[in-house]
Amino acid sequence: MTGSEILVRCLEELEVDTVFGYPGGAVIPLYDVLVESEKIRHVMVRHEQAAAHGADGYARVTGKTGVCIATSGPGATNLVTGIATAYMDSIPMVAITGQVPVSMLGKDSFQEVDITGITLPITKHNYLVKDVKNLTKTIREAFYIASSGRPGPVLIDLPKDVLTDQCRYTFPKVKELPGYKPTYQGHPTQMKGAAEVMASAKRPIIYAGGGVIHSQAHRELLALAELLSIPVTTTLMGMGAFPGDHPLSLGMLGMHGTPTANFAIGEADLVIALGVRFDDRVTGKCEAFANKAKIIHVDIDPAEIGKNVGVDIPIVGDVKNVLNTFLVQLSKQQQREWLEQIRNWKEQYPMEYKKDGQLRPQMVVQKICEATNGEAIITTEVGQHQMWAAQFYKFSQPRSFVSSGGLGTMGFGLPATVGAQVGCPDRTVFNISGDGSFQMNAQELMTAVANKLPIKIAILNNQYLGMVRQWQEMFCDRRYACTDVSDQPDFVKLAEAYGAVGMRIDKEDEVEEALQKAMQIDDRPVVMDFRVEKEENVLPMIPAGKTVEDIILS
């Protein structure tokens, strides 16, 4: 078989059903074979960056490894932002790039670029395959590495002659790799010590992140929280790991998290950190973060434990396995005084916004939540709208919130929405977007139209690069340097030009009707241009590097 035939056969053996890509000269042999596959659907994007984001969105909602394909040179470099996005958020992905023939490597050949060198810092591992005999082993290893331990992207660079050369096909199984042995079970002594501390805590709090979702540990998290009466706060990546409408839910933590979550972490005597990395958007000033508490940190990646914040009990292991052990070791408890304090904070500092008849972005998000019964997959771009989505949509299940957290990639949301809808065709998928972010990958409307994807796009259009403008208002004396984007296209006409449905909503009383109409359209995308208040701010806010004492509430 040729290398191209081997690659497609391997993908089929690995039960890959969808790949996102864009053809080019170096991968013509691969596409010549891929088009004949009856098991793999190829989603043709309109920009290679969207192929990576599409594979990313697909992986986040399905739990499978996303796959994207690009040609050599600029095709490969266009994947870089999407690969980095997946790397920062620990998303399993295999990126396949074409390359010039082996004999032309290192000669500045047409469309040659050292993509393995470029992506070395933003992949779990990458490969340059120079011999077709190594191809099957490389593919199998790549998928194993991408999906095991702490997930992440892996890149395979394939010279054109490797795709056309032939060898005998075999499909070896990968049982283990030298030097790569993730730890899945927590250390018994550490586990016992953690259980004892948890049993004696008076003001405990669970701080849950994306690792809970990757581990499929949401049921165990709910069981532990209810067993010990422990309130739960989540990171942006952990949204949906714990039901947002549960009495023990505190909402999101950090810079734009709820006051209750931030006050609780400051007063807690125990923080149980599950699958988190204590990033700066959560901790603020690290020295002051949870400084009254002992910290138990559970993570499958030992490099994350103690990296940003010192911990008292480190546990390296898979969150699901660790929580199951805790559920056996611990017995039911009540935290009446602590939960009463939590209730008081919730009543005193509710998440609210001005209700004066003007079209407020927070209200739009709430209406989307009502229209979808809180059961939609919500994707976002990056900015104010992203925070409002996290604050005002009540997520009830995992793998329902798709957003670029670590890298903060504008332009992520629309192609990720395409990937999410392809991965979950029976779910309603809403992209909550900003007018700035939307224009970065607006061409992917064509991908959605071509594939008849009924995605819903809600642009919270304030005619600014909203989050940057907010910082300029607060910290630069309202000098709005280069953040006014009122010179924008007509989004309704743009949608119609691509073959989608376009709507413009200017008033509060038009929102529900527009959403109902959008929900009834099932054969094409719908773009809703919500003309919201221009200078609305995301609150509360803890300024970067500050503490909960510096929180801005209004």
Residues 35, 398: contact at Cβ < 8 Å?
no
pTM of the model: 0.97
Confirm whether 110 is domain-assigned.
yes
- Interval 338-365 mean pLDDT: 96
Confirm whether 120 is domain-assigned.
yes
Confirm whether 498 is domain-assigned.
yes
Residues 321 and 294 grouped into a single domain? yes
Confirm whether 177 is domain-assigned.
no
Query: Which tokens is 394 given?
Result: 């009540």
Q: What is the pLDDT of residues 325-341, one digit of tens each?
A: 999 999 999 999 999 99
Confirm whether 297 is domain-assigned.
yes
Residues 312 and 439 grouped into a single domain? no
Residues 193 and 92 grouped into a single domain? no
Q: List the domain range (segments joined by +) for residue 105.
A: 3-164
Confirm whether 552 is domain-assigned.
no
Using CB atoms within 10 Å of the CB of residue 101, give its burial: 0 to 12 exposed, 13 to 18 middle, 19+ buried. middle
Half-sphere exposure of 121 (CA within 13 A, CB side): 2
Report residue 190's pLDDT band, with 50, 70 and 90 as the boundaries: very high
Q: What is the pLDDT of residues 41-87, one digit of tens each?
A: 999 999 999 999 999 999 999 999 999 999 999 999 999 999 999 99
The long-range contacts involving 243-247, CB below 8 angstroms and separated by at least 24 positions, are 243/394, 243/395, 243/396, 243/397, 244/374, 244/393, 244/394, 244/395, 244/396, 245/374, 245/394, 245/396, 246/222
Q: pLDDT at residue 498 above 90? A: yes
Residues 469, 480: contact at Cβ < 8 Å?
yes
Residues tagged active-site: 48, 110-111, 160, 467
- What CATH number corresponds to the domain at position 326? 3.40.50.1220
Closest CA to 384 of 323, 308, 435: 435
Confirm whether 472 is domain-assigned.
yes
Residues 316 and 367 grouped into a single domain? no
Structural domains counted in the chain: 3
Report residue 299's pLDDT band, with 50, 70 and 90 as the boundaries: very high
Query: Which tokens is 1 given?
Result: 């078989």
Q: What is the pLDDT of residues 384-412, one digit of tens each?
A: 999 999 999 999 999 999 999 999 999 99
Residues 143 and 275 grouped into a single domain? no
* Tokens 């040609």, residue located: 71
Spatial distance between the Cα atoms of 132 and 160, rounded to a whole number of angstroms: 11
- What CATH number corresponds to the domain at position 374? 3.40.50.970
Residues 281 and 375 grouped into a single domain? no
Residues 284, 545: contact at Cβ < 8 Å?
yes
H-state helical runs in 257-355: 259-267, 280-283, 319-329, 336-348
Which DSSP symbol is given to 65?
P
**CA 159, 165, 168, 169 torsion: positive or negative?**
positive
Out of 105, 131, 164, a domain closes at: 164
Residues 338 and 370 grouped into a single domain? no
Spatial distance between the Cα atoms of 525 and 415, rounded to a whole number of angstroms: 12
Residues 344 and 367 grouped into a single domain? no
To which H or E segment does residue 357 belong? Answer: none
- Interval 165-178 mean pLDDT: 86
Spatial distance between the Cα atoms of 257 and 232, rounded to a whole number of angstroms: 13
Out of 129, 164, 199, a domain closes at: 164
Closest CA to 94 of 61, 70, 118, 72: 70
**Cβ neighbours, 10 Å, residue 344:** 12
Q: What is the mean pLDDT of the chain?
A: 97
Residues 116 and 200 grouped into a single domain? no
Out of 316, 348, 380, a domain closes at: 348
Residues 329 and 458 grouped into a single domain? no
Residues 525 and 408 grouped into a single domain? yes
Residues 55 and 148 grouped into a single domain? yes
Using CB atoms within 10 Å of the CB of residue 35, give its burial: 0 to 12 exposed, 13 to 18 middle, 19+ buried. exposed
Confirm whether 513 is domain-assigned.
yes
Share of the chain above pLDDT 70, in %: 100
